[in-house]
Amino acid sequence: AIFLEEIIMHESFSEDLTPFWPDRMISNYALHEPKHIAQQIPESNDSGVWVSKWMTECPFRSDYGNIIANTASRMRIAINLVKAGNNVLHEEVLAKSVQNWKAEEEKGDHYMVKW
């Protein structure tokens, strides 16, 4: 927000648009952070997985807090992507995913969802 304020305060920004109003500075507004919105684990690459799950679950519910990216959701998305009828290797990929799933199951991931 401070970076945006610096851009807005620069003389080249408002010279042709609108005059600068000090009372409308971004830093004058209170910061409100949304509550109950799930966030990915630090240093995780799950943002794409989360968005994919949200897109899948969106028709059923719009509760952002209950969308969790875990081993089960990553596996489910991967299977859906490779199981398409136009993928000539889908049987081989499914066999390997079952093998991987069993290995994950032996690790004891308590967040796995069985389907």
| CA within 13 Å, CB half, 77 | 17
- The string of pLDDT tens digits covering residues 51-60 is 777 777 776 7
Tens digit of pLDDT for each residue in 62-79? 666 667 777 887 878 777
Residues 94-109 as b/e (b if ≥16 CB within 10 A, e otherwise) read eeeeeeebeeeeeeee
Say if residues 112 and 104 touch (Cβ distance below 8 Å).
yes
- Both tokens assigned to 77: 């998305």
Most confident of 7-11, 26-30, 66-70, 94-98: 94-98
Taking residues 33-52, what's their average pLDDT?
A: 72
Segment 81-93, tens digit of pLDDT:
777 777 888 888 8
For the chain, the residue count is 115
77-86 contacts, C-beta under 8 A, 24 or more apart: 77/49, 77/52, 77/53
pLDDT at 115 (0 to 100): 47
H-state helical runs in 26-89: 47-57, 71-82
